[in-house]
Structure 1
Amino acid sequence: MTILDGRPHVALLVVDVQNQVVADAWDRDGVIDRIRSLVDRAREEGVPVIWVQHSDENMPVGTDGWQLVPELGREEAEPVVHKRYGDSFEDTELESLLAQRQVGRLVVTGAQTDACIRSTLHGALVRGYDATLVEDAHTTEDLRQWGVPVSPEQVIAHTNVSWSWSEAPGRRGDVVPTAEVDFGAR
């Protein structure tokens, strides 16, 4: 349903699944296992897997914390988008990578739910993409000590519910569990 002409394909976006980002994440191992299953399925079906890797003054490029988690095993041919802002599109080459691959729909996984995941989902919708959030393949850490009034589980649940209602003319957001992800074009 995307409004991007000539973009019938889908891509799997793996956002910020980096050592430091997910070190204290809720259900870290379960989320990584589900993302790994999606990466495997995407590869089997010939769906592009695009990795996003954040850096900033607290997580400099090249440090151990900046590295993608080893459990996911990015393949050399799969592109990595390096970003410095929450939205994976902002000041990166993500849009050109998707255009080259004729992608009009994204399947989004990763961390952190309340920051880069939400920013990237909204960035995709605003730019004309359909964006599917995988309800059990994104995570965040417990931020209550910094004033967030709810648990990570509540943040994730709220994001899943609110994203399921997201739409704009000619495009929409939806939420599905890992087991129901469909990489087929729409």
Structure 2
Amino acid sequence: MAAMTTLDNRPDSALLVVDVQTAVVEGAYRRDEVVANIAALVRRARAKGVAVVWVQHSDADLVRGSDGWQIVPEMSPDDGEPVIEKHYGDAFEDTDLEQVLTDSGVGRLVVVGAETDACVRSTLHGAFTRGYDVALVGDAHTAGDKTQWGAPPVEAVIAHTNLYWSYQAAPGRTAAVATAAEIDLE
């Protein structure tokens, strides 16, 4: 897919791996399958020379440096791959993500990670409103069960997010959803 981003001189794509941390995905819906899909995408991106940018959340309940804060053992950032530390849902808020992407000429993000109904969703919208083309990998994001607080079952949250993101539209940029097997990383 040709880039349409509203950002000038930003022809490249990046795989944005959001909060795939031990405590965040522990007990998440289809955790092992989603983590395996993300790990495969990381390998594909590296093989194609596509930037991989990692996002790691911390707050009072997810303490920086703790075991739960660590990226899952199935994958890890390579030397030179940026790791963005964040404290808010949207990975752009109060971080250097925008500068990292600008410096790398990135105008299109391929988004994977957790949690679908929080940080993934916030970051999708944050990127889109900032002018990026944004593709969500439909089988590479997940969340924990929040039905006790009135949320729909996770399977429905994921399906709804994939549905509405596939119909997002705005001038000069694109939104898309594809599976891990189908996604064009470039």
**TM-score interval w.r.t. the shorter chain?**
over 0.9
Where does the alignment leave 5 or more consecutive residues of structure 2 unmatched? Answer: none
- Counterpart of 1:96? 99
Q: Is contact 1:51–1:78 with CA below 8 Å preserved after alignment?
A: yes
User: Which of 85, 90, 100 is the aligned partner of 1:87?
Assistant: 90
Paired position in structure 2 for 1:106? 109
Aligned equivalent of 2:41: 38
Q: CA deviation at 1:73?
A: 2.3
CA positional deviation for 1:162: 0.4
Q: Distance in 1 between matches of 2:33 and 2:79?
A: 24
- Cα shift at 1:167: 1.5
SS of residue in 2 equivalent to 1:180: coil
Letter in structure 2 aligned against 1:163 = W
Aligned to 2:165: 163
Q: TM-score, normalised by structure 2?
A: 0.97
Q: Provide the alpha-carbon RMSD of the alignment.
A: 0.7
Give the ranges of 4+ consecutive aligned residues of structure 1 lying more than 2 Å apart after TM superposition: none
Residue 146 (structure 1) shift: 1.7
Conserved 8 A contact 1:128-1:171: yes
- Deviations 1:48-94 (CA, angstroms, capped at 9, x unpaired): 00000000000111111111101012212211000000000001000
User: How far is 1:34 from its partner?
Assistant: 0.3
Output the CA distance in 2 between the equivalents of 1:156 and 1:10. 23
Q: Which amino acid in 1 is paired with 2:27?
A: D
Q: How many residues align?
A: 183
In structure 1, C-alpha distance between the alignment counterparts of 2:147 and 2:14, rounded to whole Å: 33
TM-score (norm 1): 0.97
Match of 2:16 in 1: 13
What is the correspondence of 1:32-181 to structure 2 with a 5 Å cutoff?
32-148=35-151, 150-181=152-183
- 3-state SS of paired residue (1:114): helix
Identity %: 58
Letter in 2 for 1:129: Y
SS of structure 1 residue aligned to 2:134: strand
1:125–1:167 contact (8 Å) kept in structure 2: no
